[in-house]
Structure 1
Amino acid sequence: MSASRRMPDVLEARLLATVSRLAGPIRGAGVVLISLFGAFSLNSPLGWTLFALVAVSTVADFRLPRVALPVAFLRVVVLSVLLGADADQWVLTVLTTTLITWQWQWPLKVTVPATAALLAVQVVTTGPGVLVRAVLESVLARLAYELLRRSSRRVDLLRERAAEQRRAAAVALDQGRREREYLALLHDTAAATFLMAAHGGDPVAVAAQARRDLVVLAERGHGQGTVDLGAALAAVARDSSVHVRVEAEVVPVPAGVALAFVRAVRELLTNVERHAGTTGAELTVGRGAMVVVRDDGRGFEPADVPGHRRGLRGSVVDRLEAAGGTAVIESAEGRGTTVWLRWPADD
């Protein structure tokens, strides 16, 4: 998802960003409070000077995250070198606070070498006694951070699955509603027409009613269901005043697509009647929704058709393209006209 972040990253990214943003202020506030108690315990000019230095240095923790790590490193080094064993709890607590908050703010490739360097300084200045506590608390801080990260990732994954289930349920509910509406529409249209035919209705009236049913099913049914394109176009050919030789296979297509073909073929046969100078045409409906309308009339030059005449362009080409198909018109003076209609366009 996702501007296209996938949903499982959302909570994790926000949570980690919040932890990283708060790590510096927590470290700054912590070392100031620790240093205040340390200065009170020493109650010496050196102690209060170091407290003032620590307080000033925390500006980086609160306001300058890019330099907060080296500033924190130098702060611990200064306290270790100047205080040494005289204030080991002050130094040790600032050290562990620094190492813990580092784990929340920077990746391992940064914190591991920085921690190792800081511990090396501590061993040199105050002895190896700090190692166990400092290493243990650093490791526990990193583990807590990773646990929080995995937990947030797990929550995001569960949210994603729940959202997918809700979407699937909504789609299924909507599809079921549409199917029920379409079945009711079929009952009101096609079923009534079949009943008319079964009781010996007039063939012309039955054909006209069937064409009206097709229009209703396509326009009100939003293209749901399928229609035999061959049968639909054969009905159009029978209703035309032009004598049409039909070769049609059974080609199921969506009702909306069938309606586009019906209207396009009706327009083509009307053009044959009005302009071709012939009384005959051929209609072929083949697999892959390939329809060919051909006449042997006088023909025309497609390039010479004025732009304001939109018959073939609007009623045939544009209509097929709107349904996702293509229409190709081939004609020449004295050679008749052939039109290929196909759906889908990339088939």
Structure 2
Amino acid sequence: MITDVPRYSPEVPRPIGPSESELARSVSWYALWVRNAVVVLSGVFGVVAVGTDGALATACLVGYATAWCFFQTYWRFRRPPTDWFIAAEGLMLLSVTLSQVHLGPQTVGSWTFVVVSITTVTCHFEWVHWPAGGFIVAVLSIGSYALGNLLSGHDEGVASHCLGFAVQSFLAWMSLALVRAGARAADRIAERAAHRRREAAIAAARRAAELEDLAMLHDTASTTLLMVSSGTLDSDGWLPDRARHDLEVLGSVPGTVARDVDLSSLLRTLSEYPGVPIRLDIRGPLTIPAKPAFAIFLGAQEALNNVRQHAGDTDVCLCAGRDHGGRVLVELRDLGCGFNPADVPTHRRGISGSIVARMSAAHGIAQVVSRPGAGTTVRWIWPGSEGRDQHVDHADRTTTA
């Protein structure tokens, strides 16, 4: 049973989409590696550039910051960052910036300045899943740098430096927000496209089900009523059994029945098809799923109706069995007047819809071979979903048992 799907509503809040999630993962790792690389490399140059008096203290600070960078990277490989990372990050920043009390003010170009500068830029990308965390780290960086300078007795240019840190941190956050907005838009577009594809698939399934129902109705009750209304056959003898049979077929709902059925038993009921004498050569049992069984049975019934209406007096033979590969092969042959399949009008759906398309929907093959004056052969092959071209060629050379 096909059910309706909820209509797309852009106002409904949604979880992070695949594009935004992949963007967040990528920028987080990129920012982490860039920041760690800058901190470590600038620390090495900072140790080399500092005088001998502060070399040991600077080396200890660089070692501490480097250890934190490696530990942070190792942790991120195992699991997402936690809230205590903020405290650990703040402790590292305070250690670096407050070292100015002992080492003296660290102006533009110093290791401390570089650490604060890169941290205020990358913090928003590192904490992309928690924007508040990025702002906390940025404030800690700028505030601790200003505090370290003030405690060291150097306040010249500190305000302008802190303002520059704040501006570049805000610009980094804005750039990330714009990129994330683009990723969200891409996710919304992909979601709408997927929703339209789902609706189209559901509509196609409904249409296919409707066509199958119409084809079944055409091959059962409609055909019976047409035979009665034409008055060409005496309906007293065969009509009750025929009507009862049509009701049984309509009640079986082909395509939804999960059980297997014996195709040979279904085909034997065609021996009493009104107005068409039939010779049967059925070697069974032929137990197959219900959908292909009914596709073959209803297709054979439609083919017999065409024989009765168009072929004239003819010898009809219905053969069914299995080949050496275990496939079910069914053939309905007549020696009537035949026809040219290319001349059949497109609005006539007996062959294309009730026989070929129905069998194709059951993952099988149906072939109609005919030419004027040479009779008609209708052939059904199941299973036919794999190696279709090979099966068709083999079926053209095989005489059904």
Q: TM-score, normalised by structure 2?
A: 0.48
Question: Which residue is 2:211 aligned to?
Answer: 180
SS at match of 1:162: helix
Question: Which residue is 2:50 aligned to?
Answer: 42
Question: Which residue is 1:92 aligned to?
Answer: 113
Q: Partner letter of residue 109 of structure 1? A: A
SS at match of 2:216: helix
Once the two structures are TM-superposed, the CA of residue 197 in structure 1 deviates from its matched residue by 2.3
Structure 1 stretch displaced more, 7-16 or 49-58 = 7-16
Once the two structures are TM-superposed, the CA of residue 104 in structure 1 deviates from its matched residue by 2.0
Does structure 1 residue 170 correspond to structure 2 residue 191? no
Question: Which residue is 1:303 aligned to?
Answer: none
Asked if the contact 1:32–1:55 (Cα under 8 Å) also holds between the matched residues in 2, the reply is yes
Question: Which residue is 1:292 aligned to?
Answer: none
Q: Partner letter of residue 241 of structure 2? A: A
Q: Which runs of 5+ in 1 are unaligned?
A: 224-347
Asked if the contact 1:196–1:206 (Cα under 8 Å) also holds between the matched residues in 2, the reply is no
Once the two structures are TM-superposed, the CA of residue 205 in structure 1 deviates from its matched residue by 3.2
Does structure 1 residue 118 correspond to structure 2 residue 141? yes
SS at match of 1:144: helix
Name the CA distance, whole Å, in 2 between partners of 1:25 and 1:61: 10
Q: Percent identity?
A: 26
In structure 2, the CA distance between the partners of 1:94 and 1:8, relative to structure 1 (3 Å rule), is closer
Give CA deviations for 1:132-165 in whole Å, capped at 9, x if unaligned.
2211111122122222322222222111112122
Once the two structures are TM-superposed, the CA of residue 17 in structure 1 deviates from its matched residue by 3.9
Question: Which residue is 1:211 aligned to?
Answer: 244
Name the CA distance, whole Å, in 1 between partners of 2:139 and 2:106: 23
Q: Which runs of 5+ in 2 are unaligned?
A: 6-12, 76-80, 150-157, 257-401
Instruction: Within 5 Å, give how 1:327-346 maps onto structure 2.
Output: none
Q: TM-score, normalised by structure 1?
A: 0.54
Q: Partner letter of residue 167 of structure 2? A: L
1:82 to 89, 93, 99: 99
Name the CA distance, whole Å, in 1 between partners of 2:219 and 2:16: 47
Give CA deviations for 1:47-67 in whole Å, capped at 9, x if unaligned.
434322322232332134444
Name the CA distance, whole Å, in 2 between partners of 1:7 and 1:206: 62
Does structure 1 residue 61 correspond to structure 2 residue 68? no
Asked if the contact 1:185–1:217 (Cα under 8 Å) also holds between the matched residues in 2, the reply is yes
Once the two structures are TM-superposed, the CA of residue 182 in structure 1 deviates from its matched residue by 3.1
Asked if the contact 2:93–2:140 (Cα under 8 Å) also holds between the matched residues in 1, the reply is no
Name the CA distance, whole Å, in 1 between partners of 2:251 and 2:135: 68
Does structure 1 residue 151 correspond to structure 2 residue 182? yes
In structure 2, the CA distance between the partners of 1:50 and 1:8, relative to structure 1 (3 Å rule), is closer
Once the two structures are TM-superposed, the CA of residue 199 in structure 1 deviates from its matched residue by 3.7
Asked if the contact 2:86–2:133 (Cα under 8 Å) also holds between the matched residues in 1, the reply is no
The structure that is helix-richer by fraction is 1
Aligned residues: 221
Once the two structures are TM-superposed, the CA of residue 93 in structure 1 deviates from its matched residue by 1.8
Instruction: Within 5 Å, give how 1:309-320 maps onto structure 2.
Output: none
Cα RMSD after superposing both structures:
3.2
2:87 to 70, 75, 95: 70
Name the CA distance, whole Å, in 2 between partners of 1:206 and 1:81: 103
Question: Which residue is 1:284 aligned to?
Answer: none
Name the CA distance, whole Å, in 2 between partners of 1:50 and 1:43: 15
Once the two structures are TM-superposed, the CA of residue 204 in structure 1 deviates from its matched residue by 6.1
In structure 2, the CA distance between the partners of 1:155 and 1:86, relative to structure 1 (3 Å rule), is closer
1:191 to 219, 222, 243: 222
